[in-house]
């Protein structure tokens, strides 16, 4: 039995697919041979691109993992959140080192790492907030079911 309020059944799968697409787009953006388009939309637009490029996948991965746990009747794990943040923070550093070391037309930029870190933090906060609202709704729905059960049993 699945509960739509908790993302049971296919809800977490949809979030996982969206997370996979977001991560693939992020990887393409970070590791494509050509750098960002020139001229930029506005000064330092690449920093915004970096922040969004990390915030969206992080939020979706946090949401997918949390919805999967909720669909199995478990609370969201803080350990998973810390793991997601750690992986994406490490990836921020590695991606800039790869760009600086292995690409002739690109350079590593410490400010890009900072923007990636901000995006990672924002994504973790947004994903956790959305997950918290879903979990609160699920608990309220479960409590309502418990209250109704004795009445229906009569």
The pLDDT value given to residue 13: 93
The pLDDT value given to residue 137: 72
- Give me 83's structure tokens: 């793991």
Q: How far apart are CA 5 and CA 132, in angstroms?
A: 12
The pLDDT value given to residue 37: 67
- Give me 101's structure tokens: 């070391």
* Beta-carbon contacts of residue 45 (< 8 Å; ≥ 6 apart): 36
Per-residue pLDDT of the chain (154 residues; tens, 9 = 90+): 444 444 445 589 999 999 999 999 999 999 988 876 677 788 888 899 999 999 999 999 999 999 999 888 887 778 999 999 999 999 999 999 999 999 888 888 999 999 999 999 999 999 999 998 988 876 555 544 444 555 555 5
The pLDDT value given to residue 16: 95
Q: Do 64 and 12 form a contact (C-beta atoms < 8 A)?
A: yes
Q: How far apart are CA 34 and CA 40, in angstroms?
A: 14
The pLDDT value given to residue 27: 95
The pLDDT value given to residue 6: 46
* DSSP state string for 110-144: HHHHHHHHHHHHHHHHHHHHHHHHHHHHHHHHHHH
């Amino acid at each position: 039995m699945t509960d739509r309020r908790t993302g049971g059944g296919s809800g977490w799968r949809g979030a996982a697919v969206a997370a996979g697409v977001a991560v693939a787009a992020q990887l393409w953006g970070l590791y494509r041979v050509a750098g960002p388009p020139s001229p930029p939309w506005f000064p330092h637009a690449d920093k915004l691109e970096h922040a969004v490029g990390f915030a969206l996948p992080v939020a979706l991965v946090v949401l997918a993992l949390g919805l999967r746990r909720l669909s199995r009747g478990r609370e969201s794990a803080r350990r998973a959140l810390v793991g997601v943040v750690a992986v994406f923070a490490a990836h921020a550093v590695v991606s800039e080192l790869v760009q600086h070391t292995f690409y002739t037309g690109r350079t590593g930029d410490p400010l890009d790492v900072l923007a990636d870190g901000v995006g990672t933090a924002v994504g973790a906060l947004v994903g956790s907030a959305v997950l918290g609202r879903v979990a609160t709704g699920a608990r309220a729905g479960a409590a309502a079911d418990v209250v109704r059960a004795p009445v229906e049993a009569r």
